[in-house]
């Protein structure tokens, strides 16, 4: 019997999984996504700042792969009947690969949903881009990788405006001493105001209220802290963690439903002896390769091996002309080795275009 393999979500991890499953298994593969274009999520801060780039039709990226592509919204999964309910039809599956990704968490702090902008998806990035057409000071909340990329991109694009980074910790606390020194230098050059050790408790029409009673005034607030996942998995009855991410074993198979695998941001993955992997393309793409390898092994009667994952670097763009490549140990902790400046900007750009290239050439994911 030819198994029907249904892949939900055509982001970085779902695209790779569908492509490899069609190539490596004898299954019929159907890929479902809410939009017909592939969204390079890692470039949403660029889009928000007015950079233009071509959004590729998913059908074009899948050409010749044998994957059947359906543009529709996943509304519900009936795990008992093994059926996915889309807004316009139902799809029965033998094997399900769940890759619905993540979105901005707009409800953890009051006022974010009403007053803040995000760079988490294409619609939000476009809304921010539109708002930036009229004047106003900017406060980016969040000192993680997305916050650093967003604040430097915006400061470089709008040199006349007041741009602030508001972070609960210290600037660059997750990178090495050399990395931190470079971040401070870039912030100085771009005139970004740092507001450190500042926990935001509310957002309103005029800026941010802080836990210590202080205030940060800003006309435009960009929220980059916290991502959440859709509740489709939880409602389906799959075992999930406290954030709604599907709990999987080291072969990326659901711990509650063996016919289901989960990959990318929507999966809570803890390889043996390691901490949980962070949400990133850098983890989602190898997860996709591994999940399909495990599936192929099982379909061929072989026992699959568990995922072993080693981090290599964190690639941070700091505007279009600067960057920070922080080399890390296998467990993601920073080494003192960094690459900075124009070379780092080029390195990061090549990683971003490499990820897009992999969507068309999924075999590369096997080596990542
Ligand atoms: C601004 C920004 C910069 C980033 N930079 C980096 C970086 O430099 N390096 C890095 O490794 N990571 C980076 N990330 C994180 C990275 O983008 C995500 O970890 C990655 O996109 C996750 O891939 P995924 O395949 O799990 O999900 P996604 O890429 O989010 O794809 C999920 C897909 O599922 C679809 N979908 C969702 N719900 C439904 C539904 N109900 N029905 C149908 N379709 C649905 C979506 O439309 C989407 O196409 C960045 C993120 C942002 C926002």
Cβ atoms of residues 13 and 60 within 8 Å: no
Q: Is the CB of 13 under 6 A from ligand 1?
A: yes
pLDDT value of position 357: 92
pLDDT tens sequence across 188-232: 999 999 999 999 999 999 999 999 999 999 999 999 998 999 999
CA within 13 Å, CB half, 276: 15
Token duo for residue 141:
């909340």
What is the Cα–Cα distance from 314 to 301, expressed in whole angstroms?
37
Cβ(168) to ligand 1 under 6 A?
Answer: no
Average pLDDT over residues 150-160: 97
Give me the percent of the chain exceeding a pLDDT of 70: 99
Q: Please report which confidence band the pLDDT of residue 368 belongs to, taking 50, 70 and 90 as the band edges.
A: low
Q: Which 8-state DSSP code applies to residue 312? A: -
Q: Which atom of ligand 1 is nearest to the CA of 13?
A: 25
pLDDT of amino acid 261: 98
pLDDT digits (tens, 9 = 90+) for 236-248: 999 999 999 999 9
Q: Indicate if ligand 1 lies below 6 Å from the C-beta of 245.
A: no
Q: What is the pLDDT of residue 366?
A: 66
Distance of CA 357 to the CA centre of its chain: 17
Domains 4-102+229-309 and 112-226 share a fold: yes
Angle at which helices 341-360 and 281-299 pack, to 10 degrees?
Answer: 30
Gap from CA of 206 to ligand 1 centroid (Å):
30
Q: What per-residue confidence (pLDDT) applies to 361? A: 84
The beta-carbon contacts of 143-147 under 8 Å, at least 24 apart in sequence, are 143/167, 143/168, 143/169, 143/170, 143/171, 143/172, 143/173, 143/196, 144/174, 144/224, 144/225, 145/314, 145/316, 146/45, 146/119, 146/224, 147/224, 147/225
Centroid of ligand 1 to alpha carbon of 36 (angstroms): 15
Q: Give 362 Cα–ligand 1 centroid separation in angstroms.
A: 17
Q: What are the two backbone dihedrals, phi and then psi, of residue 202, each rounded to the nearest 5 degrees?
A: -160, 150
Burial class for 320, CB neighbours closer than 10 Å (0-12, 13-18, 19+): middle
Calculate helix-pair angle for 281-299, 12-24, nearest 10 degrees. Answer: 20
pLDDT for 113 equals 97
Q: Give the single-character DSSP code of 248.
A: B
Q: Which numbered atom of ligand 1 lies nearest the CA of 41? A: 17
Question: What distance in angstroms lies between residue 303's CA and the mean position of ligand 1's atoms?
Answer: 30
Angle at 313 between CA 108 and CA 269, to 5 degrees: 50
Q: State how far the Cα of 286 lies from the Cα of 365, in Å rounded to an integer.
A: 6
Question: Which CATH number describes the domain made up of 4-102+229-309?
Answer: 3.50.50.60
Q: Is the CB of 39 under 6 A from ligand 1?
A: yes
100 lines ligand 1 (CB under 6 A): yes
> Which residue out of 35, 38, 55, 101 has the highest number of ligand 1 atoms within 8 Å of its CB and is therefore the one to mutate?
101
Among 7, 15, 42, 325, name the best residue to mutate to test ligand 1's pocket (greatest count of ligand atoms within 8 A of Cβ).
Answer: 42
Rounded-to-integer distance, Cα 25 and Cα 2, Å: 9
Q: Whose CA is nearest to atom 38 of ligand 1?
A: 100
Q: Is 171 in the pocket of ligand 1 (CB under 6 A)?
A: no
Ramachandran category for residue 252: left, alpha or beta (phi over 0 → left; psi -120 to 50 → alpha): left
Give this prediction's pTM. 0.96
Give the model's pLDDT for residue 45: 98
Cβ 281 under 6 angstroms from ligand 1: yes
Domain parsing of the chain, residue ranges: 4-102+229-309, 112-226
Is the CB–ligand 1 distance for residue 147 below 6 Å? Answer: no
The CATH number that domain 112-226 falls under is 3.50.50.60
CB-ligand 1 contact for 12 (6 Å cutoff): yes
Mean pLDDT of the chain: 96
For the residues 8-16, what does the mean pLDDT come to?
A: 97
CA distances from 127 to 40, 49, 150, 290 (A): 17, 11, 15, 36
49 phi and psi, to 5 degrees? -90, 10
Arithmetic mean of pLDDT, 37-65: 95
Band of the pLDDT at 367, cuts 50, 70, 90? low
Q: How far apart are CA 233 and CA 220, in angstroms?
A: 34
CA angle centred on 138, ends 343 and 177, rounded to 5°: 40
Range list of H helices, the chain: 12-24, 44-48, 58-61, 112-115, 122-131, 145-157, 177-190, 232-236, 281-299, 341-360
What is the pLDDT at residue 272? 84
Q: What is the DSSP letter of 322?
A: -
Q: Ligand 1 centre from 13 Cα, in Å?
A: 8
Condensed to tens digits (0 to 9), the pLDDT of residues 285-304 reads 999 999 999 999 999 999 99
What's the distance, CA 104 to chain centroid? 10
- Between 53 and 94, the more confident residue is 94
Q: How far apart are the first and last CA of the chain?
A: 32
Mean pLDDT of 44-60: 95
Q: Buried b / exposed e across 95-110, counting CB within 10 Å, b at 16+?
A: bbbbbbbbebbbeebe
Is the pLDDT confidence value at 187 over 90? yes
């Amino acid at each position: 019997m030819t198994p029907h393999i249904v892949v939900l979500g055509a982001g970085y991890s779902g695209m790779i999984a569908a492509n490899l499953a069609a190539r490596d298994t004898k299954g019929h593969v159907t890929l479902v996504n809410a939009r017909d274009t592939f969204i390079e999520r890692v470039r949403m801060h660029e889009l928000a700042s007015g950079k233009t780039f071509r959004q590729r039709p998913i059908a074009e990226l899948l050409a010749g792969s044998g994957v059947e592509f359906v543009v529709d919204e996943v509304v519900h999964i009936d795990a008992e009947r093994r059926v996915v309910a889309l807004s316009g039809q139902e799809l029965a599956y033998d094997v399900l690969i769940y890759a619905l990704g993540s979105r901005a968490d707009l409800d953890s702090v009051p006022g974010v949903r009403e007053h803040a902008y995000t760079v988490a998806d294409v619609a939000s990035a476009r809304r921010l881009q539109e708002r930036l057409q009229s004047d106003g000071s900017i406060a980016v909340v969040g000192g993680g990788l997305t916050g650093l990329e967003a604040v430097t991109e915006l400061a470089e694009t709008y040199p006349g405006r007041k741009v602030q980074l508001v972070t609960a910790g210290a600037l660059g606390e997750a990178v090495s001493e050399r990395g931190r020194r470079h971040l401070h230098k870039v912030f100085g050059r771009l005139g970004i105001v740092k507001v450190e050790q500042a926990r935001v408790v509310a957002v309103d029409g005029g800026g941010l209220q802080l836990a210590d009673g202080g205030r940060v005034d800003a006309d435009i607030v960009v929220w980059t802290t916290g991502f959440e996942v859709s509740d489709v998995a939880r409602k389906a009855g799959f075992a999930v963690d406290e954030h709604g991410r599907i709990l999987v074993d080291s072969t990326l198979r659901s711990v509650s439903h063996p016919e289901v695998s989960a990959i990318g941001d929507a999966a809570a993955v803890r390889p043996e002896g390691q901490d949980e992997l962070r949400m990133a393309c850098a983890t989602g793409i190898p997860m996709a390769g591994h999940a399909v390898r495990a599936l192929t092994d099982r379909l061929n009667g072989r026992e699959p091996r568990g995922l072993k994952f080693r981090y290599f670097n964190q690639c941070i763009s700091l505007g279009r002309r600067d960057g920070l490549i922080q080399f890390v140990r296998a467990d993601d902790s920073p080494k003192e080795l960094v690459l900075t400046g124009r070379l780092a900007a080029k390195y990061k750009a090549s990683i971003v275009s490499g990820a897009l290239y992999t969507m068309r050439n999924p075999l590369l994911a096997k080596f990542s």
